[in-house]
């Protein structure tokens, strides 16, 4: 049954990829009337079949919508859909709520918020963490930056998509928080892949090793959710390598602006950059980093090479 509080809400939604499609579905299931736009129009068909309205441009999603939500690929995409000639702010009526859930630049988030305020709209940068599983199960962690008023207005919609929703501060704070999140993940993914590669190279059963270590001090979301995919040979993207590289580049630039050295992040970026150079590497999920370890030649057996 649709939630009565959402049954008559008209919401624009831009970006129906791995994450966005599940997030938009939760809004539809709650009874929201959706106006959708996505770069690959075929991805919208399932939503049109459920009554959503197709919009040919980002600006059209704002027409008649009390809120517009976006989750796209790169900061350049965010800038285009909000500030471009056919962007959201070109058509958004005063008092429209704008929620960008893309992982993007803190500086760009502040620019959008300032432009929105000049047009009497309310902007929130609200990037997410939790991958395809979190999006599908509406258990995303949502990190928000913006005014208290914008956050309070957005909260009922955010609740439909996430379970850990925190306002971190003014515009740009959500993006800064997501950078902290990605910095933590970057180092963890190195550890997850190295751990599974080590277990395999040592002749252990990696699945048994995973059962032992995932519940102890080594435990993490990535170990519990992505290591099993590695062991199953599943490298499909819950989160693309190409998008993780984008996030780490933003984090490296932001850290440099803050005067902070991040050697762990820099190493992870270098490793993922290497992976992206392989055919199809950029389109893998972040667990695809394991390929760099699996392809390393084994050390020669000392016993086999010793003189008789």
Chain mean position to CA 267: 21
From the CB of residue 182, how many other CB atoms can be counted at a distance below 10 Å? 20
The answer to whether the beta carbons of residues 60 and 91 sit under 8 Å apart is yes
Question: What CA–CA distance (Å, rounded) separates 172 from 169?
Answer: 8
From the CB of residue 275, how many other CB atoms can be counted at a distance below 10 Å? 21
From the CB of residue 9, how many other CB atoms can be counted at a distance below 10 Å? 18
Catalytic residue among 8, 178, 295, 308: 178
The answer to whether the beta carbons of residues 83 and 112 sit under 8 Å apart is yes
Tell me the HSE value of 63 on the side-chain side, using a 13 A CA sphere: 11
The answer to whether the beta carbons of residues 287 and 226 sit under 8 Å apart is yes
Question: What CA–CA distance (Å, rounded) separates 17 from 44?
Answer: 10
Output the CA–CA distances (angstroms, integers) from residue 146 to 70, 81, 101, 105, 126, in the order listed.
Answer: 15, 19, 12, 14, 9
Residue 178 designated active-site: yes
Query: Could you tell me whether strands 67-70 and 53-54 are parallel, antiparallel, or unpaired per DSSP bridges?
Result: unpaired
Give kind and range of the element (H or E) at residue 150: helix 148-158
The answer to whether the beta carbons of residues 101 and 126 sit under 8 Å apart is yes
Nearest to 220, CA basis, from 173, 181, 168, 178: 181
Catalytic residues: 178
């Amino acid at each position: 049954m649709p939630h009565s509080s959402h049954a008559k809400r008209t919401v624009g939604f831009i970006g129906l990829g791995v994450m966005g499609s599940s997030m938009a579905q939760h809004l539809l299931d709650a009874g929201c009337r959706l106006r959708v736009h996505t770069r690959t129009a075929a991805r919208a068909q399932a939503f049109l079949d459920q009554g959503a309205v197709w919009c040919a441009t980002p600006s059209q999603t704002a027409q008649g919508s009390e809120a517009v939500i976006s989750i796209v690929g790169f900061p350049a995409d965010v800038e285009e859909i909000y500030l471009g000639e056919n962007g959201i702010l070109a058509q958004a009526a005063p008092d429209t709520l704008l929620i960008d859930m893309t992982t993007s630049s803190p500086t760009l988030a502040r620019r959008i918020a300032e432009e929105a305020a000049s047009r009497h709209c309310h902007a929130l940068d609200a990037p997410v963490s939790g991958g395809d599983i979190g999006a599908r199960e509406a258990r995303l962690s949502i990190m928000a930056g913006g005014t208290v008023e914008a956050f309070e207005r957005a909260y009922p919609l955010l609740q439909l998509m996430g379970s850990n929703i925190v306002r971190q501060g003014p515009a740009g704070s959500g993006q800064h928080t997501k950078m902290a999140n990605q910095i933590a993940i970057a180092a963890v993914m190195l550890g997850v892949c190295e751990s599974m590669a080590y277990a395999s190279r040592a002749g252990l059963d990696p699945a048994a090793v995973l059962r032992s270590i995932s519940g102890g001090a080594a435990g993490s979301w990535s170990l519990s959710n992505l290591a099993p995919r590695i062991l199953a040979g599943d490298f499909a993207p819950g989160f693309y390598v190409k998008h993780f590289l984008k996030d780490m580049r933003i984090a490296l630039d932001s850290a440099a602006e803050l005067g902070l050295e991040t050697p762990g992040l820099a190493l992870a970026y270098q490793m993922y950059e290497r992976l992206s150079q392989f055919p199809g590497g950029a389109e893998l999920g972040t667990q695809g980093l394991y390929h760099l370890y699996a392809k390393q030649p084994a050390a020669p057996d000392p016993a086999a090479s010793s003189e008789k």
